[in-house]
Amino acid sequence: MAKTAKLEVVNMVVTTDLKHKLNLETIASKLSNTEYNPEQFPGLVIRIKDPKTSALLFSSGKVVCTGARSIVYAEKSVQKIINFLKKIDIEITVKPKLKVQNFVGSGELNFNLNLNVLAIKLRNSDYEPEQFPGLVYKIKTPFYASFLLFSNGKIVCTGTKNEEEMDKCLEQLVKNLKKIDGGLKRKRKKR
* Domain boundary, last residue among 95, 116, 137: 95
Residue 74 lies in a domain: yes
As a whole number of Å, the CA-based R_g of the chain is 21
Residue 69 lies in a domain: yes
Contacts of 184 (CB under 8 A, 6+ apart): 111, 112, 113, 114, 177, 178
Residue 48 lies in a domain: yes
Tell me how many domains the chain contains: 2
pTM above the 0.85 mark? no
pLDDT tens column, 35-63: 999 999 999 999 999 999 999 999 999 99
pLDDT tens column, 114-151: 999 999 999 899 999 999 999 999 999 888 999 999 99
- Which residue range is the domain that position 30 belongs to? 19-95
CA distance 81 to 86: 9
Contacts of 94 (CB under 8 A, 6+ apart): 18, 19, 20
CATH number at residue 107: 3.30.310.10
* Domain boundary, last residue among 42, 74, 95: 95
Same domain, 113 and 62: no
* Domain boundary, last residue among 95, 124, 151: 95
pLDDT tens column, 64-109: 999 999 999 999 999 999 999 999 999 999 999 999 999 999 999 9
